Structures are given as structure tokens and as C-alpha cells.
Copies of this chain bind each other. A is one copy, B any other.
Amino acid sequence: MSRVLRVLFFIILVLPVTVLAQQVLAQELPSWNDGARRQAIVDFVKRVTTEGGPDYVAQAERIAVFDNDGTLWSEQPFYFQLGFIIDRVKALAPEHPEWQQKEPFRSILAGDLAAIADSGQKGLVELGMVTHAGMTTEAFETIVTNWFATARHPKTGRLYDEMTFVPMVELLEYLRANGFKTYIVSGGGIEFMRPMTEGAYGVPPEQVVGSSIVTEYKEVDGKPMLERLPKIDFIDDGPGKPVGINTFIGRRPIFAAGNSDGDYEMLRWVTSGSRPSLGIIVHHTDAVREYAYDRKSHFGRLDKALDEAGERGWQVVDMKADWKKIYPFDP
């Protein structure tokens, strides 16, 4: 080829294709910086959606599971559901004068968060029961919906469901645009999350897996209802996550995103099937725009899963380096 022809060839054919490819790439995951993590995601999606390719996965089998706390929204200075519990204890306190003297209620009413954390699992379960049980499912949904509409995060002053991670919401949308069915699989209460997941993440209630208390069918004045009882039904955390996935979904997902050791078994389960798979860990590294924590955090402790990420091929997302934007309200 003559030099002129080569230049023409470049201008007419190569340049537009390159520009087009960059534009398409730019449209996908726009809040992710170019880099290894973004590339790993895009490559994986391309592999499993390329018909006739060696790693093609039929659309029905493209299940993606996402942890919620610390993966799709923040979890500091406490799990947001604990914020709900604190607010509910305060709201119910006038009906329970005995709480002024009784732990862990006394600490909550005194605003002593460290003491609440020290009350241990028994204390937290007791708090969960008095605030989550003793009403119908519909009444609880109303309570939660009202809380999301009014309660404010102690640091940002934002509504809790505004504190979602833009890059992760883009990732959910990107996967769905590529034929994935996206699920939330969280240690959080299933009925606590359902009122917010569709609006915040585009995930409908039937694609939310979470911890639950026992509900009971009743007829009251000839009207059927479901009453929430103060008894734990299922804890969707740690080894409970693969169990919850199997119960609710019945297929092994090919994509999982988490951020803590509570997601370790889910990541293991998802990335040890016979098909191509991708595991993602959101690493909280941005003390300025969000929070920086891992191995020593009370909430969202990330230790073992971080140690094994390299060996397991899990992609560790560095929030500070990999994300252009964190919250929707960021500039």
C-alpha cells in the first residue's frame, strides 16, 4: 500500500471503528475509570454474551447477585438498618417506660452507639424483634417506607436511599442490558430492603433475598393477613448466602459482588461452578468521598476475602481509584 492509501485506510476504516468502540465503552459504566477492574467486567460480559463463543452462557443462566450493605450503598457509621432500629426505639419509647432502665434500649435512647455494639448478638436480636415484629407485613412496609422518606444519615444529612453507589447502579443496569437477571442477596432484612430496591437499584421485590423473621397467616375479622412474629427465620449472611441463593433462585449465579467477609461463601459458591464467572469485591478506600475501612471495621469487616481475592481471581475494586463518582449527589 502506498503511504496515501494507508492514511486513507486509517481515516476511513480504522479511526471511525476505534472512536465508535471508545464511545460505546464510554456509554457503559460511565462512572468507572478506565482500568483493570472496569476492563475485567466488560471483558467478562463480552465473553458470556458472545453467541458461538467458548464462554457463551444462555440468557436464562445469566444470574448476578449483589450484596447490599457496603456494596450497593454505604454501611457506616452503622448498617442503615441499625439506623432504622434506633429511630424506631425512640419512636416507641413513650409506650415503654421500662426501656429507660433496660439495656440495650437505655443505650440507644442515650445515643451510646458503642454500648449498643457491645450488647452483642443477643442485644441486637432483641432490638430487631421489638422493632420488626408484632405487626402485619403491610403495616411494616408502611413504617419502612415512611422511614426512608424522612430519616437522615448522621454524616451526610441525606436520605439513606440516596447514599447508593452510582458506579454499582450502573453495573446493575449494564448487566441487565446484557441479559442478566440481577438479585440482591444481603444480610439485611428482606422486608426492610424491598420497599427501596426497585426505586434505588431497579431490582423488584421478588429479586431480593435477605434475612427474615417468621410470618404467620391469620384471619382477623374475616380478613387474611400476615403477622410478623418475634422469631428469626433465616440469616442470609456468610454461609447462609449460598443457601439463600439456592432456595430463592435455584440456579448458581455467574456473577457476584460483595464487600466483606460476610460475602466470602457467596463469592466462593458463585465462582466455583462449571461456567465462566466473575467475583467482585468493593474495597472501601476513600475516606474523603465515603469511608476507608477493611480488616478492623465493626460493620463490613473485610479480611479473609481480601486475603484470598488474588488466588480466587476476584476483582478488588478500589473505590478511590476506580470510581469517578460515588453518590448520586456528588458533584
Contacts and interface: CB of A to CB of B under 8 A. Distances in A.
A247 interface: yes
Interface string A268-286: 1100100000000000000
Nearest to A251: B205
B224 A268 contact: yes
Interface in A223-238: 223-224, 226, 233
Nearest to A247: B212
A217 interface: yes
A189 to B, nearest CB: 12
A223 to B, nearest CB: 6
A70 interface: no
Given A208-B250, A223-B272, A249-B205, A217 B239 contact: yes
A206 B243 contact: no
A205 B251 CA distance: 7
B224 A246 contact: no
A7 B235 CA distance: 72
Given A206-B249, A250-B208, A242 B265 contact: no
A58 to B, nearest CB: 11
Nearest to A249: B206
Interface string A194-205: 100010000011
Contacts of A85: none
A137 B226 contact: no
A181 interface: yes
Contact of A181 (B206, B247, B268): B206
Contacts of A233: 247
Given A223-B272, A224-B242, A224-B268, A250 B217 contact: no
B208 A269 contact: no
A190 interface: yes
A44 interface: no
A269 B212 contact: no
A284 to B, nearest CB: 26
A9 interface: no
Contacts of A206: 63, 181, 248-251
Interface string A49-68: 00000000000100100000
Contacts of A212: 247
A43 interface: no
A186 to B, nearest CB: 13
Closest CB pairs A-B (n = 8): A205-B250, A217-B239, A206-B249, A224-B268, A217-B242, A194-B250, A224-B269, A224-B272
16 contacts: A60-B198, A60-B204, A137-B246, A205-B249, A206-B250, A208-B250, A216-B239, A217-B239, A217-B243, A219-B268, A223-B272, A224-B268, A224-B269, A226-B246, A226-B269, A248-B248
Interface of A: 60, 63, 137, 181, 190-191, 194, 198, 204-206, 208, 212, 215-217, 219, 223-224, 226, 233, 239-240, 242-243, 246-251, 265, 268-269, 272
